[in-house]
Chain A
Amino acid sequence: MSAHRLPESFGDLEQFAACWALPTENERHSQRLTSTMAELRGFYDAILPRIDAILAYLNDFPLDRLPAEAQALLHLSLSLAEVAPAVELFGQPEVPDGYDSRRIMVVEH
């Protein structure tokens, strides 16, 4: 009975929408920090081969007037930017030996 959140042509990514189609940096970052590396890699490996198609699809819409399903797809793509450092650079969800990012307040503008 669950409604599809992503555009039909990206149905293969639907399984990631609930976890990763998140509208804010705080939510995406928190999802990264509370995921295992296997989960981060699973998401990364699934979306990376599709990112060109995703952005090409989204670029056909005015950015400030995205239909709801396209908006969810954009949020999903922003989560790729969030998890990329964990997968490509750090090999762990958090910045190794880094300042605790939970102490950072994101100020919305």
Chain B
Amino acid sequence: MAAAATNGNHNGQRWHDAYPELGTGPVSIEPYISQEFFDLERERVFRRTWLNVGRVEQVPDSGDFIVKDIAVCRASVIIVRDRDGKIRALHNVCSHRANKVVWESQGSCGAFKCRFHAWSYRLDGKLSSVPDESNFFNLDKEQLGLTPVAVDTWEGFIFINLSPQPAQTLAEYLGEWGEQLRGYPFAENGAVCYEWRTELRCNWKLIKDAFKEAYHVAFLHKRSLRDAYTGGRNPFSHALDFKLYPVHHRWSLGGNPDYQFKPVESVANRFGSFIIISDAKDRPQPAGINPTRAPNWVLDINGIFPNYILDVAESGYFTYHVWPLAVDRSIWEVRAYFPRPINAGQRFAQEFNRIIFRDTIMEDGSTLEQTQTVLASGAKTHFVFQDEELLLRHDNKVLLDFVNRA
């Protein structure tokens, strides 16, 4: 844990030393600009991996549903809690003439009824009624339910898999990474959720890359987070820890213990802190939270392949979803989760932290479209990654492994 406090080198070693299979060479830009590669990502990554679509709190009661349009897979999926309380995922496509059944993005209902000819489906997807049914030819209603999508939950997070037969269960897919985080109070610390969404003219990977290294903090965030995350002993925000799992990864980030709070920050901090420096670190935590047990720990950045990032702090967490629309267009969804505030002071502290967070990610967002506009110029064919950009290198390797797997 002293490593980051000195110079970030891990006992004089580099983080990459532990993962020789990743190499240290330049990494091709092609996957960020190639239509051909994008088509392979669609078929071999997004149609085959478990994708996070939200949390169980979004569908608390029977009949509650959300609809996720997974444009990269040209799919729309209804996630609903059925009459038995079970969470189900169903393709949002009518069995009659393939109309999109639900047009709302969320809601609550007793059954799904198609607007076109009023075919009606139960919450578990079974076809329940067809107007003028006797005029069809040998209609077998048992075979004509909404097409199910594989769905499962981990610690209250809902994941779907668009493969008709997923190669792995969700538990297998999340593996040891998931086990290390079990027990964190995701429901309690996620009682309040704020969400921002935008569409960017850039490849989806540029967005997730922006949140997987802290090398940029001293520069891109020079007006905002720099002083909280850097300092004389750690001028480049070197990590407390990196840990790579087969497809996912975690990075632990510390703060500057000598950081001087700004005036409003110090007011907010008396009621709880989140992204500047963590509070209440004496609380017992699962092994995957603040893994080095560093006193200056702020948060852990968890990358869940391919498109989900879960940043966990002591008293709340942030998530990023990146949804590809085209090789150079993406949806970016950001959520900030907090415990339910018990008084106005906590409400104020949460507001302060989430607004600083929002403004900071506006700084992150500034480079994304700019980069995309010159990425295909031919001026550069490769990115150059340093030791602390390990997660970008890991993502790239995992991605190529998926894409090259026929």
**Chain A residues close to B by CB (< 8 Å):** 25, 48, 51-52, 54-55, 58-59, 61, 63, 66, 74, 77-78, 80-82, 84-85, 88-90, 95-99, 101, 103-107, 109
Contacts and interface: CB of A to CB of B under 8 A. Distances in A.
Given A84-B352, A84-B355, A55 B267 contact: yes
B119 interface: no
Cβ-closest 3 pairs across A and B: A99-B365, A58-B344, A98-B362
Chain A CB count within 10 A is highest, among B265, B351, B356, B365, for: B351
A78 B263 contact: no
Interface string B355-384: 110110111111010000000000000000
Given A52-B267, A109-B193, A85 B359 contact: yes
Interface in B156-206: 192-199
Contact of A58 (B198, B264, B343, B364): B343
Contact of B271 (A54, A55, A78): A55
Chain B interface residue number, banded: 35 or more
A105 B196 contact: yes
Chain B CB count within 10 A is highest, among A55, A97, A103, for: A55
Given A52-B267, A74-B347, A81-B348, A95 B363 contact: yes
B263 A88 contact: yes
B197 A105 contact: yes
B355 A81 contact: yes
A60 to B, nearest CB: 9
A63 B344 contact: yes
6 contacts: A58-B345, A84-B355, A84-B356, A98-B366, A104-B198, A104-B358
A40 B352 CA distance: 16
Nearest to B359: A85
Chain A CB count within 10 A is highest, among B271, B342, B355, for: B355
Interface in B188-243: 192-199, 223-224
Contacts of A103: 198-199
Contact of A59 (B267, B345, B352): B345
B31 interface: no
B264 A84 contact: yes
Contact of A88 (B195, B264, B343, B368): B264
Given A48-B264, A95-B362, A99-B362, A82 B355 contact: yes
Interface of B: 192-199, 223-224, 262-265, 267-268, 271, 341-345, 347-348, 351-352, 355-356, 358-359, 361-366, 368
A82 B348 CA distance: 10
A105 B344 CA distance: 25
B227 to A, nearest CB: 10
B345 A80 contact: no
A98 B359 contact: yes
A77 B361 CA distance: 23
Chain B CB count within 10 A is highest, among A59, A74, A98, for: A98
Contact of A81 (B194, B198, B351): B351
Nearest to A47: B264
Contacts of B347: 63, 74, 78
A82 to B, nearest CB: 6
B197 A104 contact: yes
A85 B341 CA distance: 22
A75 to B, nearest CB: 10
B267 A89 contact: no
Contact of A48 (B197, B198, B263, B361): B263
B348 A97 contact: no
B254 to A, nearest CB: 21
Given A88-B265, A109-B193, 10 more contacts: A48-B264, A54-B344, A55-B344, A58-B345, A78-B347, A78-B348, A89-B224, A89-B262, A99-B365, A99-B368
A1 B351 CA distance: 33
Contacts of B344: 54-55, 58-59, 61, 63, 66, 74, 77
A109 B195 contact: yes
B251 to A, nearest CB: 23
